[in-house]
Amino acid sequence: MDTAELAAVKVDKSVDARGTSCPGPLLAAKKAIGEIDKGQVMEVLSADEGTRRDIPKWCKKKGFEYLGTVEESGFFKIFLRK
């Protein structure tokens, strides 16, 4: 999805992991994914560059759909669908 499409996505769960370093955001995502239903969308906010690469790989391994990443000022919004 491009930035405009991601901006229009209905987010069911937002995880703010900007205060943590690797692997904090990934573990925050792992904890939160259990709180949404299949088909729902989660965004992970992270200031960690490594997480931007980790979440898509994690999604592929766990069978989730990585939707894309939007770069904000000083952090990333990473979107995925369970």
Partner 1 sequence: MANKKLTLALFSGSVDKLTAAGVILGGAAAEDMDVEIFVLLQAAFAFKKENALVNDRVSEITDKKDEFLASLKRLGTPHWTEAFKQAKELTNVNIHICGFAGKVWHGEKLDDFIDLADDICGIGEYMDSAENSDINLFI
> What amino acid is encoded at 61 in this protein?
K
Smallest distance from the beta carbon of 69 to partner 1, in angstroms?
17
Burial category of 13 from C-beta neighbours within 10 Å (exposed 0-12, middle 13-18, buried 19 and up): middle
Element (H, E) at 21: none
Per CB under 8 A, 20 contacts partner 1 = yes
Smallest distance from the beta carbon of 80 to partner 1, in angstroms?
13
**Residue 62 or 65: which CB sits closer to partner 1?**
62
Binding-site string for partner 1 from residue 28 to residue 57, where x marks contact by CB under 8 A and - marks none:
-xxx----------------------x---
Main-chain dihedrals φ then ψ at residue 7, nearest 5 degrees: -65, -25
**Residue 3 or 60: which CB sits closer to partner 1?**
60
CA–CA separation, 7 and 26 (whole Å)? 22
Give CA 10 to chain center in angstroms: 13
Site of interaction with partner 1 (CB under 8 A): 19-24, 26-27, 29-31, 54, 58, 61-62
